[in-house]
Amino acid sequence: MKYTIKTFLLAGLIFLFSTIIAVASSQTALNEDIKGWNCTGCHNNAEKLYTSDHVDMKDMSVSECRECHDGKKAKNLVTKMSMSHTHLLNDITCSDCHGDDRPASRVSQAKCIECHDLAELVKKTAKDPKDPMHNPHNSHYGPEFACDACHKAHGKSEDFCAMCHVFGWKVP
């Protein structure tokens, strides 16, 4: 049987579209009514997220989760849970930050600081008051530095400063 370039391209396109359809159909539609503790609202296989003997999470806030998940009693959730989960556990919905845009638009810096006071963040993350620049919220980039350079709402956050510095910050 003789294969042509057109045959390979057609096979590639079929594979690509079937993969896109499979991934899209496995995703749960955005549902503003899902509560933070209801992992199965978005995740079809919650057994992989927590065990069946886990305490009842209904109506728990993220601060209540952290009472156990402190790194001593149970795995620390800082860096383990994306910000979208943390916000949802505090009853902050997708539309509270993204508005009613579908697909959701990028959240602006101004929207972040409506709830997160920059001066308070600078105080909270100050390691050494004598070294004010050794602070992720008071860096040489200035106060306008984009929150999402470090904080990823729908993925693992990262320490942007670690590209040049070794501070060892854990970014929620």
pTM above 0.85, yes or no: no
Question: pLDDT band for position 36 (50/70/90)?
Answer: low
Q: Are 166 and 147 in contact (CB under 8 A)?
A: no
What average pLDDT does range 110-118 have in this prediction? Answer: 91
Evaluate whether 79 touches 171 at the Cβ level (below 8 Å): yes
Alpha-carbon distance 157 to 5, whole Å?
A: 42
CA-based nearest residue to 80, from 91, 92, 64, 66? 66
Q: What is the dihedral of CA 79, 83, 89, 90, to 10 degrees?
A: 120
Domain ranges for the chain: 32-163
* pLDDT: which is higher, 44 or 157: 157
